[in-house]
Amino acid sequence: MKKSIKLAAAAVLTVAMLSACSDGNGKETNSSTNSQTETPADSANETSSQTSDAPAVEAPVFENVSVHDPSVIKVDDTYYVFGSHLAAAKTTDLMKWTLIDSGVQDGNVLIPNVTEELKETLDWAESDTLWAPDVIQLADGKFYMYYNACKGDSPRSALGVAVADKIEGPYKNLGIILKSGQWGEESPDGTIYDATTHPNVVDPDVFFDKDGKLWMVYGSYSGGIFIMQMDEKTGMPLPDQGYGKKLLGGNHARIEGPYMLYSPQTDYYYLFLSYGGLTADGGYNIRVARSKNPDGPFVDSEGQDMIDAMGTPGTTFDDPAYEPYGVKLMGNYRFNSVDGEPTGNPYAIDYGYVSPGHNSAYYDEKTGQYYLIFHTRFPGRGEAHEVRVHQMFMNADGWPVVAPHRYGGETIGKYSTSDIVGDYKYVNHGHGITADIVDSSVVTLSEDGKVSGAATGTWKLDGDHNAVISIDGVDYKGVFLREYDESMETQVMTFSALSDNGVSIWGSHVAIEK
């Protein structure tokens, strides 16, 4: 069951309310990449003998897929992601992915007669495709898919549920549970629908809390992010909730893609969010807030109540108003190659992500490992997008930090000073919503605990692998981790740490050519 997986007004404003629901000047499609073809950001061949940061080990093998807005569920020994455009993929190791199907067309194995089965939804949304879904297994053993469709140039959307006996379908529609964008008409809470205060009913995430209660968090742009209580037996909303409880957003703030993860390690519920626009020039970035309760209130690392994260009344997409809220885990970045590094990999100079976002997350109760699953675009590749998985770790203050490189089967270890000292490609993700790519600079962590180069300060290894780093007077807490650098085709030491004001920094050891 997914409990073990997540344990976890006015028509004039009908302008691209939803990043995952935009078109033309930002319409997301799923035809931009070959889901299995290795590309500049995907090359992972043999372990290179040219570099030495760690003893040679067998290189991980990556097989990539394009599933936008991936939502994860684990069934037996297999991880599945479900995404927009009725796409799904699976893996047993979080590295080699196989596409199950994609495309809102009859014959898709997930919903074979989708155009008829979900006709009411598609007609209401005036759309020919579906957006970010979520799948959960309930006590009856069946799998419930929370699907949704959006018009695209307005928050006219419908959200419903379909059920299947098997995770890969076929799914049978149970009906629409929420609608939005009913201009001039009554909304579920009894008032006239107002896109500045009422939600766009897309991007659902259905999860069990630690006490076994079922919830659905959802929403994008428009009136914000909302949460509803659900019936654990039927998967339907409990009665008389309207749209549920608002958690944050409103006035068309560019905030979407909510996903909830409970951590038994910290006893917090972590609400992941995507800020900005999903396209390559949209500045998409992944953020998080936390609460002791599944329905909030949620705060960021500065203690700011996320209910205040919203646009300015009378404006649309007023990024500066909500930009200060939420812990920013990652945004656009590029690890540039450094003089002395191997030149055998022609893609090294452009290794990085553009507009990473709309993530899900997974906690493995057996190993205690956390994973962040998301889609991303890449420098120089336009709107091409693929799924990526990175490990996460809880820092000393109970906030997640994300490993700089994609997951390659590594586990965190016990390190010494000699493992850590050296030159690092350094990225400060900042706190902005921006399409600019942060290019790495070089810093040196020396044996005397000093940080020098492009940034100055101090560093310390605390215990086996905890990192305490001070850069230009700001303290960051996180971890050191040895992992596979796909661009350099070798193992390198890395660090990932977070400041109290919600800014993440990454470091990846420079791989010196032998």
In a domain, 17, yes or no: no
CATH assignment at residue 459 = 2.40.128.10
Parallel/antiparallel/unpaired status of strands 441-445 and 422-428: antiparallel
In a domain, 30, yes or no: no
Same domain for 315 and 213: yes
C-alpha–C-alpha distance, residues 40 and 261, integer Å: 32
Same domain for 270 and 159: yes
Residue 340 confidence (pLDDT): 81
Same domain for 471 and 390: no
pLDDT digits (tens, 9 = 90+) for 12-28: 333 334 444 543 333 34
Residue 106 confidence (pLDDT): 98
Q: What is the DSSP letter of 296?
A: -
Q: Indicate yes or no: pTM above 0.75.
A: yes
The count of residues in the chain is: 514
Residue 344 confidence (pLDDT): 58
Of 402, 431, 453, the one marking the end of a domain is 402
Tell me the Cα Rg of the chain.
22
pLDDT digits (tens, 9 = 90+) for 458-473: 999 999 999 999 999 9
The sheet carrying 255-263 orders its strands as 255-263, 268-275, 285-291, 327-330
Of 335, 370, 402, the one marking the end of a domain is 402
Instruction: For residue 249, give the amino acid letter.
Output: G
Q: Which of 352, 508, 339 is nearest to 426 (CA)?
A: 508
Of 378, 402, 426, the one marking the end of a domain is 402
The half-sphere exposure of 99 on its side-chain side, counting CA atoms within 13 A, is 21
Residue 14 confidence (pLDDT): 35
Same domain for 249 and 214: yes
Residue with tokens 């660090």: 495
C-alpha–C-alpha distance, residues 289 and 303, integer Å: 9
| Dihedral sign computed on CA atoms, order 247, 248, 252, 253 | negative
Same domain for 487 and 341: no
Residue 386 confidence (pLDDT): 97
Same domain for 428 and 356: no
Residue 206 confidence (pLDDT): 98
Same domain for 284 and 360: yes
**Which residues of the chain register pLDDT less than 70?**
1-57, 343-350, 513-514
In a domain, 51, yes or no: no
Same domain for 446 and 331: no
Residue 184, sorted as left (phi over 0), alpha (psi -120 to 50) or beta, turns out to be left
In a domain, 270, yes or no: yes
Residue 342 confidence (pLDDT): 75
Q: What residues are annotated to the active site?
A: 69, 256
Same domain for 435 and 316: no
Domain that holds residue 477: 417-509
Please give the full DSSP string across 134-194, using - where no structure is assigned: EEEE-TTS-EEEEEEEE-SSS--EEEEEEEESSTT---EEEEEEEEE--TTSB-TTSSB--
CATH assignment at residue 146 = 2.115.10.20
In a domain, 49, yes or no: no
Q: How distant is the alpha carbon of residue 289 from its chain centre? A: 13
Same domain for 313 and 210: yes
Q: Which residues contact 499 (CB under 8 A, 6 or more apart)?
A: 301, 474, 475, 476, 505
Domain total for the chain? 2
Query: Tokens standing for 59?
Result: 């290189």
Residue 58 confidence (pLDDT): 81
The sheet carrying 143-150 orders its strands as 134-137, 143-150, 157-164, 172-180
In a domain, 328, yes or no: yes
Same domain for 363 and 235: yes
In a domain, 432, yes or no: yes
In a domain, 382, yes or no: yes
Same domain for 363 and 301: yes
